[in-house]
Amino acid sequence: MSEPVPASRLSALVDHLDRVNEWVGRVAAWLGLLLTLTIFGVVALRYGLSDSNQWLSESITYWFALLFMLGMGYTYRHDGHVRVDVFSRNASPRRRAWIEIVGILLLLWPLCLFIALSSLEYVGNSWAMREGSPEPGGIPLLYMLKSLLIVMPALLFWQGLVELLRQVVRLRHGSPSQPDHGSIEEGM
């Protein structure tokens, strides 16, 4: 029988794995600024110059999709998702850890796998034809945007793994192993 992994090594692994969604989330946060500037540009073109640009207008959808879908793992990491606390509100830390583990195994991971697997053919077909915008002058990279249907559940699944390991550390060693939520400015 193998020896259990020491708490410090398991915590270090959790912290290392946790950096993926932290980095992706920080990059995605900048997309909010790009989205805002793009919307401002579209409005300024339309109402200030009585002109429009299909590519610029479509890019709003791209920026929003990137921001939303790349930010899901980051949101989960920072406990910013919708949580139903009916079962864990008054629970002990140990019971909360078990509830989180069960939620990851029975709800989060199956949902992530369902989204990814049911999107594979759809995304694959889009890549096969290098699908672009149906609008003249639109963005020719629709197939890349659709790839987020695979990337988003992968990032969410990854963060589920991190949270599962964090709860294992909590159960085994009683240490909180909470993520360092830090500010966006830190580490940039």
Q: What is the pLDDT of residue 4?
A: 54
User: Residues near 78 by Cβ (< 8 Å), separated by ≥ 6?
Assistant: 25, 179, 181
Model confidence band, residue 6 (pLDDT cutoffs 50, 70, 90): low
Query: What confidence score (pLDDT) does residue 45 get?
Result: 87
184, with CB counted inside 10 A (0-12, 13-18, 19+), is exposed
Helices (H) then strands (E): counts for the chain: 7, 0
The answer to whether 156 and 71 are in contact (CB under 8 A) is: no
State pLDDT tens for residues 103-112.
Answer: 999 999 999 9
Confidence check: pLDDT of 184 > 70: no
In the chain, the percentage of residues whose pLDDT exceeds 90 is 46
Residue 182 pLDDT: 44
Q: Please compute the mean of the pLDDT values over residues 29-54 and round it to a whole number.
A: 88
Q: Decide: 69 and 148 in contact? Cβ < 8 Å.
A: yes
Q: Please report, for residues 10, 61, 121, 144, 167, the alpha-carbon distance to residue 95 in angstroms, rounded to integers and kept in the order given.
A: 20, 41, 40, 42, 10
The 10s digit of each residue's pLDDT in 107-134 is 999 999 999 999 999 999 999 999 998 8
Question: What pTM value is reported for the model?
Answer: 0.79
Sorting pLDDT into bands at 50, 70 and 90, what band is 159? very high
Cβ neighbourhood burial of 45 (10 Å; 0-12, 13-18, 19+): middle
Mean pLDDT over the full length of the chain: 85
Residue 88's pLDDT band, with cuts at 50, 70 and 90, is confident
Averaged pLDDT for residues 68-93:
83
Burial 61-80 (b: 16+ CB within 10 A, else e): ebbebbbebbbbbbbbbbee
User: In the predicted model, what is the mean pLDDT of residues 30-47?
Assistant: 90
Q: Is the pLDDT of residue 35 over 60?
A: yes
